[in-house]
Structure 1
């Protein structure tokens, strides 16, 4: 008999997904991977015009729907300039700082599909040459990609097929520790994508008939602000984004519980849904924390901004060092999976 949550299976699935490069704007490979996983579960899905993936599980009530989302796009970069020294200047995709990727291995994918490896470095890296290397600003002007190829000038680089607009993805450096931690780039939000797949697998394995028709949207443009703002059926009443809980000074979120967001930069999330989620956690002995993320937006807030008349909420595992080299613990994954499991079987928020 299969036991859920199967945390080893979840962590291994996260490892697979974070290892597929998918910066916003170049997500077809990872969407194909998720599509195949859904096919294995005999769950039909389709791609929207933006390239996201939508799967639907019919429920008893087909007049009122739910939608759950997680995004598979990640932070990344594009080639901004092929420099005269044979290196590449970058333009960032998503909200993060250059210092968070300094020294990171990366891949450059050309328009023809060829892959070249490289390293993101400060131009003035060598302390034997640049006296003030430690004081130089980490910004677009000073950061560059050193390509793992024999190139000495821009013509050499272009001869490889590398050009402005090529996508650059970061090595996730994923590692699962023996004491329950998983650390990697792009746990935001591929950890949540894995958990939605595990939830769908559990629904199918246990032959659960959901109370409401439920849609699962794997969005692919969240990091640039508009991932989950479309393809929401008119019948959809509740919309739950599953995304990371951000940790730091003044935050209550940790790496061991599920975080329930009460407010982010877009404003408060739906009060009734938030209270329902907290009650489900309490009733089922699920560890949770309520929190506010001051510099944060989600697929759910994008949907609200797009004008959809929905009840919106946000939950997710606690992630340390968001938009850098991230980490969470299996306890947080377990608590998030359990809250999702009970949520999709619960009643909708009452109107009024």
Structure 2
């Protein structure tokens, strides 16, 4: 039976999760397919998308108390619906680590084929995730990393440092394009105690060094609309002129935009972060310069990879026959020139 074979194989993967993947030259999961058939037309989609063995995927995500987090849950649900061979078992989103541990315990007891998990606290969920791996259930860790490499078969991450680098690199472009001398650059960060905020700020500062710039004014908000408006108002009072403003999060950016409107301060190039639909609409309207994506599709990608793992498949676009151990998504800059490309991925704040 598929379940028995897959479980036995994946139990071994869980025990040896930190080992490097074995390289190989096969590019297809279909042993009958050959590469020398010149008459075959190129395919737009991978053979992996064809229906395979029915698999049950358990999903545990965050409480939807933030636009980006809500998009994590909805994108996972939407992706699972695309596949007739996925039995999708989603539990209620939570910010309670104890509740999420209980959810994963239930998935283990139910013997699901794979688990996709955005942990409310990576360290707190490490033990139960490792338990799932040792039970032969591959775990796909999304966004917040576990504290052990044995707790996940695959980890999918956004690039927080890369977000800062993208924002800073674009800020340097604005300085050059507008021929700004002694520009005033401001930053509205998220929660300063979080490593993700620290990574974003470091990436921004590092990228600004390339054009000889630094952050002149900085405040930190709480990833909420209310805090964004409050901290932006404080910033505007302290800085009578701002040439470039980078706000880490488009949800709190709703409040930032409200503060800018109230103060009638739109002299600066306003750069956002995360990639909300409303930020992209502001870009189209000319109210905002750009935003940097932190993809809310991470869990959707997790569903796709969990399906491949449970069906004992790899990525057909890679020479490597196994699903990668770690995937870090890009942090592109969305501007007026490319906003239509990214708008379908935008989430509502």
Determine if the TM-score, normalized by the shorter chain, exceeds 0.5.
no
The TM-score, its normalising length taken from structure 2, stands at 0.27
Q: Which structure has the highest helix share of the two?
A: 2
Larger Rg computed on CA atoms = 2
